[in-house]
Structure 1
Amino acid sequence: MASSILQALMLVVALSLCISSTECLTGDSIIEHSQSVDGGLCFNLIEPSGYNCLEHTAQTKDGFLLGLQRVSSGILNLGSQTTPPVLLLHGLFMGGDAWFMDSPNESLGFVLADHGFDVWVGNVRGTKWSHGHESLSDGDKEFWDWSWEEMALYDLETMLSYINSKTGSKVFVVGHSQGTIMSLAAFTQPDIVSMVEAAALLSPISYLDHITSKLVLNLVHMYLDEALGLLGMHQLNLKSDILTNMIESACDGHLDCSDMLASITGENCCFNSSRVDVYLEYEPHPSSVKNLKHLFQMIRKGTFARYDYGSIKNLLQYGKLKPPTFDLSKIPESLPIWMAHGGNDALGDVIDVQHTLKELKSKPKVLFLEDYGHIDFLLSTRGYEDLYDNMINFFRSCGNLNVQ
């Protein structure tokens, strides 16, 4: 417990220093800490592994410019792609690079391309591989006025519409963590779910009131999200020099950083800790304080609902004192869903997953892996045999697919 409190205090101190220096509040910090952002995700991470990749940009209804990458194996021509499109949706503080962090036989983005899928990589608003806004600067407070709700209702809708316009096909959706929150909320909307062929959800989340993550619970109980808002912070850029240096210093001599990761995600059985330096070249990506606050609301209230502005503003925004919930029973029973969750996942707790399953009209196919933590579902060294083969077989069962 003492170790978790120390970690929480370190984060609070680092964020406070970041605020006082305004480093995390400036748009320059995103570019400054994006490493090799020049040339895009295709150029930096996907093409060097021998895969075809094209950059795309799609604009949301509220003006955000989202980066999308279209990927196929080296033997396929993207211009004549006839295989089914699959959209990959990353988690919190991640970007589309998360699906390509390991070797081609271990990374889901590469694995799907090798099996003949038309892979589309999503990057939500505010991340390094998206391209800003049509009129706002990332230094503007309004640029960061969103949470996962807008990602679900605007970003995901835009991505699906764009892919559908390019392929003429419904889309298979794969989400991890925040990507599953977006998906489940969006699938309650008839106009969005009509563009989806099937969904595969890794560490599925709609309820968060039973999480066991020690560090996250400490931050929730300290009302860190409220404090950051009162201090005038709108952007969370965990790549700031101050925070990066503090964490590196702590990991060098004070804390076991594998324990720090476990205190957030749960014990990961199959995560390759020797590659942490590689992962940190790209992660974490920026997000908004409002997004963090929305997630913390879910933990405190036990609800899967729209953002809570408080009674008075809720009346103005929604016409009621409490924010409307996302009713999972509205997800069509006809939508094929596959879920994979783990016994050691401290963020996607088994009780919360069961809550989600009870509210769905359909009976999703469920894969439970007792020893898996939250990160294992993205970066497991056993991912192909434990997860991906099962997922691909599920997609094959959803139609007559021309995939390997």
Structure 2
Amino acid sequence: MASSILQALMWVVALSLCISSTECLTGDSIIDHSQSVDGGLCFNLIGPSGYTCLEHTAQTKDGFLLGLQRVSSGILNLGAQTGPPVLLLHGLFMAGDIWFMDSPNESLGFILADHGFDVWVGNIRGTKWSHAHESLSDGDKEFWDWSWEEMALYDLETMLSYINSKTGSKVFVVGHSQGTIMSLAAFTQPDIVRMVEAAALLSPISYLDHITSKLVLNLVHVYFDEALGLLGMHQLNLKSDILTNMIESVCDGHLDCSELLSPLTGENCCFNNSRVDVYLEYEPHPTSVKNLKHLFQMIRKGTFARYDYGSIKNLLQYGKLKPPTFDLSKIPESLPIWMAHGGNDALGDVIDVQHTLKELKSKPNVLFLEDYGHIDFLLSTRGYEDLYDNMINFFKSCEMSS
């Protein structure tokens, strides 16, 4: 009990210090390490592991410049790539680097490349690798005026269109957490889903009203998102020296970092504590306060809907008092879907996953891992045997049938 209180207190203190820090308000640490300065994700993380990696940029309809990386195994030539394209979509406070954080035989991005897939790494707006706009700077309020809704309807649509234009093929989509929210919302749109061959969803989320994360529930209860708005904040950047140093010092022999994560993500069975310094070198990435507010709306209201501006603004924006919902029954029954979720996942609760499954017309392939928490689906030391081999077999069966 005392341990769990300490863990929750550490997170709250870290968040409070970060919010009061100028660094969190300005995002200077992200600007100083922009893609144009340090050579990009390929140069820093993927290429040094011996994989062929090329940087691409795609522009959304609302002007954001998204970084995409195209990856193939070191034993293959990218120009001769024969496998189908796969797009990787990361979660909240993450970016495309999260798929390459561990060794090549443990990281999904490397594993897919080694199996001959044409791997494309997605980075949503506002993250380190997609931190630019055609006319706005990140100091502009308008730069941060978006939530996962825009990620789904603009960012994902742009990524899929770009990959489709380069490969001439439909795309396999892999999402984790927020990446699954984006995917499920986007797949209800006929013009987007037609570009998708199949989808694999890790910790799938469309409903959040049964989450058990102690930290998140506490922040929702005290209207943390509203407080950020009252402070005039538009971005939430936790990549501060204060937070990073605090976590590193606590994890350096004083506390099991997998336990430190438990109040947020649920107990993770297979998190690799020895890699914490590597993870913190890249994570976390910034997001918008509006995005956090949208997610908290989902928790409070129990809906999978567009952003709620309030009755009057909803009338102006949507022509109705309440925001429209994303109807999961509109996802084509013909779209093959594979899902993996865990019994210890405090963010992707089993009840909420069942709610999602009931609304889908199709019957997805479902893998349930009783001892997995939220982060295990990305950074498990047993990821290949528990998850990825099953996913790859699913993709290959879809490829054969198509």
CA shift, 1:82, in A, is: 2.7
Deviates more, 1:212-221 or 1:156-165: 212-221
Deviates more, 1:37-46 or 1:359-368: 37-46
**Unmatched 5+ residue regions in structure 2?**
none
Determine if contact 1:268/1:373 at 8 Å carries over to the other structure.
yes
Deviations, residues 234-275 of structure 1 (Å, cap 9, x unaligned):
111111233334445555698654322011111111111121
- Judged with a 3 Å threshold, the aligned counterparts in structure 2 of structure 1 residues 20 and 392 are, in CA distance, closer, same or farther, namely closer
Determine if contact 2:18/2:238 at 8 Å carries over to the other structure.
no
CA shift, 1:278, in A, is: 1.1
- Judged with a 3 Å threshold, the aligned counterparts in structure 2 of structure 1 residues 87 and 244 are, in CA distance, closer, same or farther, namely same
CA shift, 1:169, in A, is: 0.4
SS at match of 2:135: coil
The whole-number CA distance in structure 2 between the counterparts of 1:131 and 1:56 is 14
The whole-number CA distance in structure 1 between the counterparts of 2:381 and 2:36 is 25
Deviations, residues 54-112 of structure 1 (Å, cap 9, x unaligned):
00000000000000000001122212323200000001011101101111111110111
The whole-number CA distance in structure 2 between the counterparts of 1:62 and 1:34 is 20
Determine if contact 1:271/1:375 at 8 Å carries over to the other structure.
yes
CA shift, 1:140, in A, is: 1.1
- Judged with a 3 Å threshold, the aligned counterparts in structure 2 of structure 1 residues 82 and 254 are, in CA distance, closer, same or farther, namely closer
Deviations, residues 97-141 of structure 1 (Å, cap 9, x unaligned):
110111111111011101000000000001111141011001111
Determine if contact 1:33/1:239 at 8 Å carries over to the other structure.
no
SS at match of 2:129: coil
CA shift, 1:162, in A, is: 0.1
Determine if contact 2:42/2:54 at 8 Å carries over to the other structure.
yes
Deviates more, 1:28-37 or 1:50-59: 28-37
Deviates more, 1:11-20 or 1:336-345: 11-20
Within the alignment, does 1:376 sit opposite 2:376 as a pair?
A: yes
CA shift, 1:276, in A, is: 1.0
Q: RMSD of aligned C-alpha atoms?
A: 2.3
Deviates more, 1:201-210 or 1:131-140: 131-140
Deviates more, 1:215-224 or 1:242-251: 242-251
- Judged with a 3 Å threshold, the aligned counterparts in structure 2 of structure 1 residues 397 and 138 are, in CA distance, closer, same or farther, namely same
Deviations, residues 139-168 of structure 1 (Å, cap 9, x unaligned):
111111111100000000000000000000
SS at match of 1:153: helix
- Judged with a 3 Å threshold, the aligned counterparts in structure 2 of structure 1 residues 14 and 383 are, in CA distance, closer, same or farther, namely closer
Determine if contact 1:55/1:69 at 8 Å carries over to the other structure.
yes
CA shift, 1:23, in A, is: 2.3
Q: Which residue of 1 aligns with 2:2?
A: 2
- Judged with a 3 Å threshold, the aligned counterparts in structure 2 of structure 1 residues 3 and 310 are, in CA distance, closer, same or farther, namely farther
- Judged with a 3 Å threshold, the aligned counterparts in structure 2 of structure 1 residues 208 and 2 are, in CA distance, closer, same or farther, namely farther
Determine if contact 1:8/1:219 at 8 Å carries over to the other structure.
no
Deviations, residues 273-313 of structure 1 (Å, cap 9, x unaligned):
12111111111111111111111111111000001111111
CA shift, 1:341, in A, is: 0.5
- Judged with a 3 Å threshold, the aligned counterparts in structure 2 of structure 1 residues 17 and 261 are, in CA distance, closer, same or farther, namely closer
**Unmatched 5+ residue regions in structure 1?**
none
Determine if contact 2:244/2:280 at 8 Å carries over to the other structure.
no
The whole-number CA distance in structure 2 between the counterparts of 1:227 and 1:182 is 25
The whole-number CA distance in structure 2 between the counterparts of 1:344 and 1:21 is 33
Deviations, residues 352-382 of structure 1 (Å, cap 9, x unaligned):
0000000000000001111111111111111
Determine if contact 1:83/1:116 at 8 Å carries over to the other structure.
yes
Determine if contact 2:94/2:284 at 8 Å carries over to the other structure.
yes
TM-score (norm 2): 0.94
Q: Which residue of 1 aligns with 2:296?
A: 296
Determine if contact 1:37/1:129 at 8 Å carries over to the other structure.
no
Deviations, residues 170-198 of structure 1 (Å, cap 9, x unaligned):
00000001000000000000000000000
Determine if contact 1:127/1:286 at 8 Å carries over to the other structure.
yes
- Judged with a 3 Å threshold, the aligned counterparts in structure 2 of structure 1 residues 228 and 256 are, in CA distance, closer, same or farther, namely farther
Number of equivalenced pairs = 401
Query: 5 Å matches for 1:216-365?
Result: 216-248=216-248, 257-365=257-365
SS at match of 1:280: helix
The whole-number CA distance in structure 1 between the counterparts of 2:177 and 2:357 is 16
The whole-number CA distance in structure 2 between the counterparts of 1:137 and 1:54 is 25
Determine if contact 2:35/2:41 at 8 Å carries over to the other structure.
no
- Judged with a 3 Å threshold, the aligned counterparts in structure 2 of structure 1 residues 34 and 259 are, in CA distance, closer, same or farther, namely farther
- Judged with a 3 Å threshold, the aligned counterparts in structure 2 of structure 1 residues 385 and 21 are, in CA distance, closer, same or farther, namely closer
Within the alignment, does 1:71 sit opposite 2:75 as a pair?
A: no
- Judged with a 3 Å threshold, the aligned counterparts in structure 2 of structure 1 residues 12 and 387 are, in CA distance, closer, same or farther, namely closer
TM-score (norm 1): 0.94
- Judged with a 3 Å threshold, the aligned counterparts in structure 2 of structure 1 residues 77 and 377 are, in CA distance, closer, same or farther, namely same
- Judged with a 3 Å threshold, the aligned counterparts in structure 2 of structure 1 residues 192 and 49 are, in CA distance, closer, same or farther, namely same
Percent identical pairs in the alignment equals: 93
- Judged with a 3 Å threshold, the aligned counterparts in structure 2 of structure 1 residues 403 and 247 are, in CA distance, closer, same or farther, namely farther
